[in-house]
Chain A
């Protein structure tokens, strides 16, 4: 069985990468989880997962210079596929190979989380959403974040990708999020999975190059991510034809 989630938000800096790694770790109690840095133009998942010195990355795989296995690393109970940060690496990468990468990874894991770029303005930026079965939308309680999150949802559903749920992130102590999340849910196809507080621990973890759930597993933000993972019901994708599914992941005919 495998289900592929794209962790997405139209807006930058909402906490997609932080959330990808945190959700991944929280889900790894129950599932075999693979996280992929699909933000191939501005990769930084490697800095969140202690992989800044990774030799082989997704860039090499997308350039057809290495097999997927050479770019997978076991860290913090996850299988991590980091991406390189060089411009050359990005230039030489063929984004369409991401399809094959996902198909290959799908043979051997329960859940794939794709850390997605904060944009919808190019084929490369949208591809993770197209390949995913469902998206997790990362939001902050601001007008542009919610409005961009709505756009991501509409792109996703247009391309036949469903919405697994919403993650509100960087909630300040003084804010009560219930009202906003309740009103936001009216316009989204998925429930609020969790509201993650703004947390100094999250910033510390990023500076230390460690996932939040490894750095401060007992903090409020980590607890919220575990609650989000708890409330996510993972669907049974048909295992056998996983490769098929992703190789043929295309926009529905009705377009």
Chain B
């Protein structure tokens, strides 16, 4: 995915990508966000997730570490926080050619629903999306219908990554052991 650099709008550490999605929607940002995991333990901590937005509504997702796009890239992005997130603004015209990459596309509500785990935010994102985004996704594209089946592919892609899930489990176990002492159970 090639994008003009744009203007850095904000850069900070968030624990939950949901907060970034809510913030972007709230401010109707046109541009993109770069997510960088702070978690060095995890394999997919390598590389960055890039998500583009039109007026606050997600359009494309791409992961530089795995070179995957669309719903599977959302799964690559899903590592336990925190993330370092940078937001860049662009003119809509600068995004036009990038947004032609159909294979990187996600449905408007998918990031909030599946990555953010916030159905209410997904609903408001869908309401903010232009009609053609809600129907155009259906054009024989595998990731087609808004909601339901399409969104699940991100969850399934996540579940297909056995190595990452093992890493999440391992991390939780060592955390649990450390804390048992700290909490003096």
Chain A residues in the interface with B (C-beta under 8 A): 11, 120, 122-123, 126, 130, 140-147, 150-151, 153-155, 157-159, 170, 172, 174-176, 179-180, 183-184, 186-187, 250-251, 255
Please indicate the chain B residues that have their CB under 8 angstroms from the CB of A126 in the complex: 179, 183
The 8 A CB mask of B60-100 against A (1 = contact, 0 = none) is 00000000000000110010100000000000000000000
Q: How far is the CB of B49 from chain A (nearest CB, A)?
A: 12
B148 contacts A172, C-beta separation under 8 Å: yes
What per-residue 1/0 map shows which CB atoms of B1-44 lie under 8 Å from chain A?
00000000000000010100000000000000000000000000
- Other-chain contact of A180, B16, B117, B155, B176 (Cβ < 8 Å): B155
Q: Which residues of A contact B18 (CB under 8 A)?
A: 144
B117 touches A140 (CB 8 A): yes
The 8 Å CB contact of A255, one of B74, B159, B180, is: B180
Could you tell me the distance between the alpha carbons of A159 and B159 in the complex, rounded to whole angstroms? 25
| Docked-complex contact A251 and B172, CB < 8 angstroms | no
- Chain B: residues with Cβ within 8 Å of the partner, total of 37
Picked from B149, B169, B180, the residue with its CB within 8 Å of the CB of A175 is B149
In the complex, chain A residues whose CB is within 8 Å of the CB of B80: 147, 151
User: Could you tell me if B185 and A150 are in contact, using CB atoms closer than 8 angstroms?
Assistant: no
- In the bound complex, what is the Cα–Cα distance between A145 and B119 (angstroms)? 12
Quick one: which of A11, A143, A174, A186 contacts B75, CB cutoff 8 A?
A143
Residues of A within 8 A of B113 (CB): 142
B180 touching A179, Cβ below 8 Å: no
Q: How far is the CA of A189 from the CA of B119 in the complex (A)?
A: 27
Q: Chain A's nearest CB lies how many Å from the CB of B139?
A: 18
- Given contacts A174-B148, A176-B149, A179-B156, is CB(A144)–CB(B172) below 8 Å? no
Which residues of chain A are within 8 angstroms of B180 by Cβ–Cβ distance? 158-159, 251, 255
Assuming the contacts A142-B155, A158-B180, A170-B119, asked whether A147 and B149 have C-beta atoms less than 8 A apart, the reply is: no
> Whole-angstrom distance between the alpha carbons of A83 and B155 in the complex?
35
Contact of B160 among A120, A172, A176, A183 (CB under 8 A): A183
Smallest CB separation, A254 vs chain B (Å) = 10
Residues of A contacting B162 in the complex (Cβ-Cβ under 8 angstroms): 186
- Are B74 and A154 in contact (CB-based, < 8 A)? no
Partner of B159, one of A123, A144, A151, A180: A180
If A143-B154, A145-B117 touch, whether A159 touches B172 (CB-CB below 8 Å) is: no
A250 and B75 CA atoms in complex are apart in Å by 36
Tell yes or no: B104 within 8 A of A by CB: no
Residues of A within 8 A of B127 (CB): none
The reply to whether A11 and B117 form a contact with Cβ atoms under 8 Å apart is yes
B159 near A184 (CB under 8 angstroms)? yes
| A228 smallest CB distance to B (angstroms) | 21
* B78 touching A154, Cβ below 8 Å: no
Q: Does B124 contact A (CB under 8 A)?
A: no
Q: How far is the CA of A153 from the CA of B159 in the complex (A)?
A: 16
User: Given the complex, which residues of B lie within 8 Å of A172, measured CB to CB?
Assistant: 147-148
Shortest C-beta distance, A141 to chain B (Å), equals 6
In the complex, A250→B117 CA distance in Å? 33
A144 with B176: CB separation less than 8 A: no
B116 within 8 A of A: yes
B contact residues around A187 at 8 Å (CB): 159, 165, 169
Given A145-B117, A174-B149, A251-B180; A151-B172 close (CB under 8 Å): yes
Offer 25 A-B interface pairs, CB within 8 angstroms, sorted by A: A123-B183, A141-B152, A142-B116, A143-B78, A143-B117, A144-B78, A144-B116, A145-B117, A146-B155, A147-B168, A150-B169, A150-B172, A151-B80, A155-B175, A157-B173, A158-B173, A174-B145, A175-B149, A175-B152, A176-B148, A176-B149, A179-B156, A180-B159, A183-B156, A183-B160
Inter-chain contacts of B165 with A (CB < 8 A): 150, 187
| B53 lies within 8 A of chain A by Cβ | no
